[in-house]
Amino acid sequence: MTSRNILFSISLVIGILYFTIIGRSGASERRLVTLEELETKNGENGSLIWLSILGKVYDVTEGKEYYGPGQSYNSLTAADTTVPFVSGTFTKEEAKKDPVELSDSDLTGILEWQKFYSESDKYHLVGKLVDPRYYDEHGKEQPTFVTLLERLEKIKISEEEKKAVKEANKKARLEQAAKQEEANKKAKAEEAKQEM
C-alpha cells in the first residue's frame, strides 16, 4: 500500500467515525420535534415510544415493558410529562402544566429523572420539543424556559454543595470514630499493663 493510500484509508475511517459518533449525536441535539409528531409516539400499532421531560424528547422504545400500550407508564409517553414525573398524576391535564410552577424540591426530582434518561444506555435523545414552555420553532429556548434553566442550574449547584457537606460530615464522623477506637484500644492496653 502506498503512503497516499494509507492516508486515504485513515481519513476515511476518521470520516466514518465522525459521522457515526459526533455527527449523529450532533444531529439529534439539533432535531426539533413538534407536539403533533410526539403525540403519535405512544407504541400503538408498533409505533416508536417517545417521552419528553423538560422539553427534551427521548426514545424509550427499548423499555416497552414499562412504556408500551397497556403498561404502567404508557401515560408518560407521547407528551411532555415533566410535571406528572413528580406529581405521580398521569393525566393529559397534568401533562399540560408548566414546570415553572414546581417547587425547588420537585425540580430536583425532575433533574434526577432527566439524568436517568440522558445517561441511560437503553434510551436515547431524539431532540428538542417545540412547545411554548420550552423551545420555539428554531430550537431557541423560550424566555420563561431560560429563567427556569437558570433556576435549575442554581438548584443543581446547591444540591452538589449539600452533597459535598454531607460527605465531609460523614468523613469527619468516620475519622472521629476511628480516633476514638484507637484511644479505647490504647486505654485497654494501658489497663492490661497495670494489672500485670
Closer residue to ligand HEM, CB minimum distance, 9 or 91 = 91
Minimum separation from the CB atom of position 10 to ligand HEM (A): 40
Pairwise CA distance, residues 38 & 134, whole Å:
14
Per residue in 96-117, is it b (16+ CB within 10 Å) or e — as a string?
ebbbeebeeebbbebbebbeeb
Regarding 99 and contact with ligand HEM (CB under 6 A), the answer is no
Closest residue by beta carbon to ligand HEM: 88
* The residue to which cell 486515504 is assigned: 8
What are the cell numbers at 182?
484507637
Minimum separation from the CB atom of position 145 to ligand HEM (A): 21
Regarding 88 and contact with ligand HEM (CB under 6 A), the answer is yes
**Contacts with ligand HEM in 61-80 (CB under 6 A)?**
63, 66, 73, 76
- With contacts defined by CB under 6 A, how many residues of the chain interact with ligand HEM? 6
Report the 10 Å Cβ neighbour count for 89.
Answer: 13
Binding-residue pattern over the window 122 to 141 for ligand HEM, x denoting contact by CB under 6 A: --------------------
Task: Give CA angle at 41 (35, 46), nearest 5°.
Answer: 160
**Contacts with ligand HEM in 29-68 (CB under 6 A)?**
63, 66
Regarding 114 and contact with ligand HEM (CB under 6 A), the answer is no
C-alpha distance from residue 13 to each of 3, 6, 17, 37, 191 (Å): 15, 11, 6, 35, 74
Minimum separation from the CB atom of position 60 to ligand HEM (A): 6
Question: Rg of the Cα trace of the chain?
Answer: 26
Can you give the binding site for ligand HEM, defined by CB under 6 A?
63, 66, 73, 76, 85, 88
